[in-house]
Amino acid sequence: MTFKAEYIWIDGTEPTAKLRSKTKIITDAPAGLDALPIWGFDGSSTNQAEGSSSDCVLKPVFSCPDPIRGGDDILVLCEVLDTDMTPHPTNTRAALAELSERFAAQEPIFGIEQEYTFFKGARPLGFPEGGFPAAQGGYYCGVGSDEIFGRDVVEAHLENCLKAGLGISGINAEVMPGQWEFQVGPLSPLEVSDQLWVARWLLYRTAEDFGVSATLDPKPVKGDWNGAGAHTNFSTKAMREGYDAIITACESLGEGSKPMDHVKNYGAGIDDRLTGLHETAPWNEYSYGVSDRGASVRIPWQVEKDGKGYIEDRRPNANVDPYVVTRLLVDTCCTALEK
């Protein structure tokens, strides 16, 4: 069998890594992950190596059907290794793989709400050429061409994610015109992170065909417009079975240096978004509460009512690295729950 494999990886762009991909024609090989060959790229073009020693290695870690090309073609998410086969400094997946193995017995799972914004040229989709649209209010989960911008792209992206077999669990229009959300999960830490990166790639690739771009910029329009986040919903087996574990997890995130350890790794520009306005808590003050969309961490009302379930960390930016946010949450909460 001959097929096209789109090898996707995360580069070294500062302060926020970008996705890259290129196509490998594979002949006479099965499409299973284990049979996919390692490959390489020019790290000096992706901020991952010096020109004098530029080779980086791509190691397949997740593959799925390619919904864009169809047929037998596949998407292949890779981690980046140095030529000695150790994780490259930009490879944040390796540390998550190690940690999630350590805490596997607690069965941590995540659902991540990925917010993003479409742009047409230099303006968010739906923003008039000069000036601003009507103030926020009617756009969130709206309907109608005065409120909704880009639904054709969103529907195509959803369809592509489903065809790829990703664990996407929903979509909605957001508070600012041209701003949307999709959710991935609940899944294990590595699964949710791998699949979120592939869903992001599919978002950019799908939008390309519509002549619009999508951005994970956490504050795409300054001023009185909502930013874009990546609310991270999290539970362990104990949290899914009882309320004490929910409270232990919430408390652990407030201890000592934990609030800063987390927030400084929750995406570049976090202080622009976590202002205390627009349904956020200030970046430098940790809080948690039931139903509280102004808290750092929210316990959904249903969770309080049932006395079990999950918590929502509302702080991560849209541009957060899912390998990092899931690692930090597992590390902090599972360490506390282990005691």
Residues within the interface to ligand ADP (CB under 6 A): 109-111, 113, 169-170, 183, 185-186, 231, 233-235, 240, 309-310, 312
What contacts 321, CB < 8 A, 6 or more positions away? 10, 17, 92, 267
CB 246 within 8 A of CB 308: yes
Nearer to Mn ion, 261 or 279 (CB): 279
Nearer to Mn ion, 231 or 278 (CB): 231
What contacts 249, CB < 8 A, 6 or more positions away? 234, 236, 239, 311, 333, 336, 337
Nearer to Mn ion, 79 or 181 (CB): 181
Give the shortest CB-112-to-ligand ADP separation in angstroms: 7
Give the shortest CB-146-to-ligand ADP separation in angstroms: 23
Give the shortest CB-208-to-ligand ADP separation in angstroms: 26
Nearer to Mn ion, 67 or 111 (CB): 111
Nearer to ligand ADP, 6 or 181 (CB): 181
Nearer to Mn ion, 113 or 194 (CB): 113
The two tokens of residue 115 are 């917010």
Q: Report 94-123 residues binding Mn ion (CB under 5 A).
A: 113
Which residue type occupies 42? Answer: D
DSSP 110-159: EEEEEEEEEEETTEETT--SSS--SPSSS-TT--STTT---HHHHHHHHH
CB 270 within 8 A of CB 205: no
Tell whether residue 157 is a contact of Mn ion (CB under 5 A): no
Give the shortest CB-174-to-Mn ion separation in angstroms: 6
Q: Report 171-230 residues binding Mn ion (CB under 5 A).
A: 181
Sign (positive or negative) of CA dihedral 313, 228, 117, 322: negative
Tell whether residue 231 is a contact of Mn ion (CB under 5 A): yes
Number of residues that bind Mn ion (CB under 5 A): 3
Give the shortest CB-189-to-ligand ADP separation in angstroms: 11
Which residue type occupies 156? Answer: A
Task: Count CA atoms within 13 Å of residue 319 on its CB side.
Answer: 23
Phi first, then psi, for residue 288 (nearest 5°) are -140, 155
Give the shortest CB-300-to-ligand ADP separation in angstroms: 7
| Chain residues that interact with Mn ion, rule: CB under 5 A | 113, 181, 231
